[in-house]
Amino acid sequence: MSVKYELEVREVEKPVKVPDEVKDRLKGLSPKLVSKMKKEVVDCPVLGREVPFLQCYFCPNFVRRVKGVVHCKGLPLQQ
């Protein structure tokens, strides 16, 4: 897998609103883990804005997260 971007995961004080389509996929995860991840954001180079880490995690461009760094394919997203 080729990685085009390496994005730093940043923590914010208040939880970030997560899109509804992502909320449906969170059913099997630990509530404690989800609440921690709701306070994490990344600067998405594909969308050109700051997004919650949970949205990034379920993106088709997501490859892996290692030590606070997200590896992203950087391919255009289909709407």
pLDDT at residue 66 in the model: 93
pLDDT at residue 1 in the model: 64
Residues of the chain with pLDDT under 50: none
pLDDT at residue 53 in the model: 92
pLDDT at residue 43 in the model: 94
Q: Where are the domains of the chain?
A: 5-72
**Which value, to the nearest 10 degrees, does the dihedral of the CA atoms of residues 16, 71, 57, 68 take?**
-50
Q: Taking the CA atoms of 41, 16, 51 and 34 in sequence, report the sign of the dihedral they define.
A: positive
**pTM of the complete model:** 0.83
pLDDT at residue 42 in the model: 94
